[in-house]
Amino acid sequence: MNIGQAAERSGVSAKMIRYYEQIGLIAPPRRTDSNYRVYGPDEVHVLRFIKRARTLGFSVEETSALLGLWQDRSRASSEVKDIASGHIAELETKIAELEGMVRTLRHLVHCCQGDDRPDCPILDDLAGHAPEKGH
């Protein structure tokens, strides 16, 4: 199949497939005499693996490591678990940061009168001024 068909079957855009090939995440595919890329079911399966890993938020580097482990039948599952556990810790840190942002923004929105006056604690905060207490 051509790159468009591989993209459709894997859920990975043709642009991303070319990028993954360029950075060495996937091996360069076979080519026709006219230099078109040719993909088979195995390549589509690898692309689906990559798509799922990236959907779960694994970095390209982590995805590469997981892909290598997936393809290595003599792997130790502890290596896979270590990568996934590290990723969970990163996600939990990001979640905490996002929750902090939500709390801050909720407070600022609560402090904003939302009327026709130009005073705005949201803009004041963005400019480095704390909102006035009692609003």
**pLDDT tens per residue, range 62-107:** 999 999 999 999 999 999 999 999 999 999 999 999 999 999 999 9
pLDDT above 70: residue 130? no
Class of residue 106 by CB neighbours under 10 A (exposed 0-12, middle 13-18, buried 19+) = exposed
pTM: 0.81
Class of residue 34 by CB neighbours under 10 A (exposed 0-12, middle 13-18, buried 19+) = exposed
Write down how long the chain is. 135
Q: For the chain, list the domains and their CATH numbers.
A: 1-75 (1.10.1660.10), 84-135 (no CATH)
Which amino acid, one-letter code, is at 65? A
